Structure 1
């Protein structure tokens, strides 16, 4: 009878075959065990020797010990004049740009200089503080008029100029001053009409210049015509105001004759000092509203689109000022509070700068030098120094740039795989 496949599979084996299967050679067991022990020992050694770090990551900005000062528009700021160029050296408090205003910047600047350099603060000195009538002071003109009125009042009481005049002589002077005021009003009307025409002509010339027409000469002439007419109009208004005040003084003198009312020189002096302080405050307010100044000595870097005629919205970035004595280069890391407790001074930092691809240039090694104690908005500030400057791990040298950004990894601890395994258990 022929054997089936199933019968062949389960046929009894010989005694020799059973012995070979059930008792493998002793050398296989020995060397196999040795090989397994060596493999386990090798893996344990590798796990002990191989370390990888615990890191805390944050965004880094490259700066200096004395950091750059950002420039922003404090309010909507239509640029009328740009007084510096990109990468110019500037001084602290130097005016960088001027906004469009009713006043002429040069006149306000000269007035500010005279106020700051005025050494005679006595009543007599303040009464002689001179402001040219042809200056265009725009928004602060009222404060100037107030000071000039108080000056005239003080000088009149001090010198008793009107005491020797009779009532009839005073009335005659009042009549002449009133006639002078009417003439000036007529002149102002003509000047205002001329100013409207000159401004319209200036707008046409500016539009032609914007369209690419080379009309430099016509543009300069139009601007001068506008400035000259404004100066004449302001001078006339100043004279009218002075004449009106003279009339008021003379009428007060007539009333004093009739009523016997005494005048106080001390009160006039106090009013004069208050008006002088008010003018200084008005000038300071104008400078705050219509100028942008440099906060420190240094180098100004302007955005490319900063130019006269552009209107900056509130908070618009204008550029920055690099301090003249900025100190060494450091990095500032905005570190999330989560995990920041493991960061300590002296720890290594690896920085990958965005402007230099990591795979090509490598990373820069730094060291933690300080940790902010007061987190703000869930962020802790960490400062990093670079002992090897900006030399990378691949031997490249990076050129620092203002506020260059990158990703920083702070190495808080290095442990082997074996240590991590046993720590879990």
Structure 2
């Protein structure tokens, strides 16, 4: 039996591949055993769908397409992407830690504080080796402070009543102390023990007596001049009478003698008055000289006192370390007694009681015009990886008007402290560094895409 499928004339008619010059080329029939419903590798049903797709498929396809498009637009409008400007930031205390450094080289013979100890301002922290005995210098410093205070307040009598003890182990301060001690003893002997006061009292009494004598001599001279005027009148009258022979020459001479005696008395009183005036002026000169001497001695004492106090302060600066402010001591490195220290070596930091802090941020000039005070800042601490600890939110509080090295300085505050986005509260440590990002404009993806599209069209 022949298994080949005969080709019908109709199939041959409808399966003509093409014509060339009016000649028909029949399409070769599919091999034996193939599915007669597949033609050209496609099933009949699929061919029918592709040639005539159903209306429901078209409708649902369009609906799904526009639905996805609307969903993408909604998501792009809802998802916001902030525009950031980056910079470097350092977190510092509002009252920055104060460093304590050595002013001279030497061996550390006294360490008076421990790490973490709270101290007062001016409290001694360390002592370097010196030729002077520190306790004698401390006692002398207290004494000089008391004397300076008394002299400035004008309580000189109390200042001279202070007992100045002898010091023999002041080292480099010994010479300044001896100069002060000599001036103090001399001034105290002249002023403090009453010598100058007694001398002034005597001079003032003499001046007062001379003033009283001056008044008496002036009154006496005035009376004598009046008497002389009367005697002169009698003399003139007797002289006229003597010319006319009404009085004798003896009476005339007696009148002349009285006149001359009165005149001599007036001249003597005038001389006494002048001498008394000179004596009074001399007493005033002595009083002025006494005041000048007293003032010079007091000024010399104050000068030596100030010089000694200055020497003591210089000694303290060279050989002692003091707390510049109240706060907590933080050791820069491990130090111990008998350790040799170098000049300018940092020993401690004094951390202030003030817990306030903020961020110092440096910003470049790229997109600087978009930055405004009050904008939010995202801070990523270098010491606390933000992938694990989260970020900190801050706010711009100040922007400098003048750049330095092409960068602007800005102040960042942290309203919520060092609380991160993962709800962790970090411990403040002065000098923490970070990367900061300023949110200049929080826009959606749709707005950014539309802005870029408009920028392309404007070009």
TM-score range, shorter-chain basis? 0.5 to 0.7
Distance 1:401 1:312, change over 3 A: same
Deviations 1:122-147 (A, max 9, x none): 56655565543335322322221221
Aligned counterpart, 2:120: 91
Deviations 1:258-294 (A, max 9, x none): xxxxx94442222111111111222222223333222
What SS is found at the alignment partner of 2:428?
Answer: coil
Distance 1:143 1:127 in 2: 19
Alignment of 1:108-257 (within 5 A): 108-118=137-147, 119-121=149-151, 130-155=163-188
1:278 to 296, 299, 307: 307
1:90 to partner: Cα distance: 0.7
Distance 1:134 1:352 in 2: 61
Distance 1:72 1:134 in 2: 30
Distance 1:137 1:129, change over 3 A: farther
1:41 to partner: Cα distance: 4.1
Matched, 1:306 2:335: yes
Normalised TM-score (structure 1): 0.60
Deviations 1:336-373 (A, max 9, x none): 24255544343333333333332222223333344455
Residues 73 and 312 in structure 1, CA contact (< 8 A), matched pair in contact too: no
Aligned counterpart, 2:8: none
1:100 to 129, 133, 147: 129
Structure with max Cα Rg: 2
Alignment of 1:407-422 (within 5 A): 407-422=435-450
Normalised TM-score (structure 2): 0.56
Distance 1:302 1:374, change over 3 A: farther
Aligned counterpart, 1:291: 320
Distance 1:26 1:312 in 2: 96
Distance 1:268 1:33 in 2: 112
Distance 2:342 2:448 in 1: 55
Distance 1:280 1:352, change over 3 A: same
Distance 1:393 1:153, change over 3 A: same
What SS is found at the alignment partner of 2:150?
Answer: coil
Distance 1:371 1:109 in 2: 48
Distance 1:310 1:52 in 2: 58
Distance 1:408 1:271, change over 3 A: same
Distance 2:297 2:363 in 1: 63
Aligned counterpart, 1:331: 358
1:313 to partner: Cα distance: 4.5
1:156 to partner: Cα distance: 5.4
Deviations 1:355-402 (A, max 9, x none): 333222222333334445565553413131232x43322233333334
Gaps of 5+ in 2: 1-16, 20-25, 27-38, 41-46, 196-291
Aligned counterpart, 1:363: 391
Distance 1:124 1:151, change over 3 A: farther
Distance 2:75 2:378 in 1: 25
Residues 103 and 319 in structure 2, CA contact (< 8 A), matched pair in contact too: no
Distance 1:56 1:316 in 2: 40
Number of positions where the alignment pairs a residue of Structure 1 with one of Structure 2: 308
Deviations 1:111-169 (A, max 9, x none): 222222334325665556554333532232222122122223434555799xxxxxxxx
1:85 to partner: Cα distance: 0.9
Aligned counterpart, 1:217: none
Gaps of 5+ in 1: 1-10, 162-262
Distance 2:340 2:403 in 1: 36
Aligned counterpart, 1:318: 347
Distance 1:356 1:130, change over 3 A: same
Deviations 1:221-256 (A, max 9, x none): xxxxxxxxxxxxxxxxxxxxxxxxxxxxxxxxxxxx
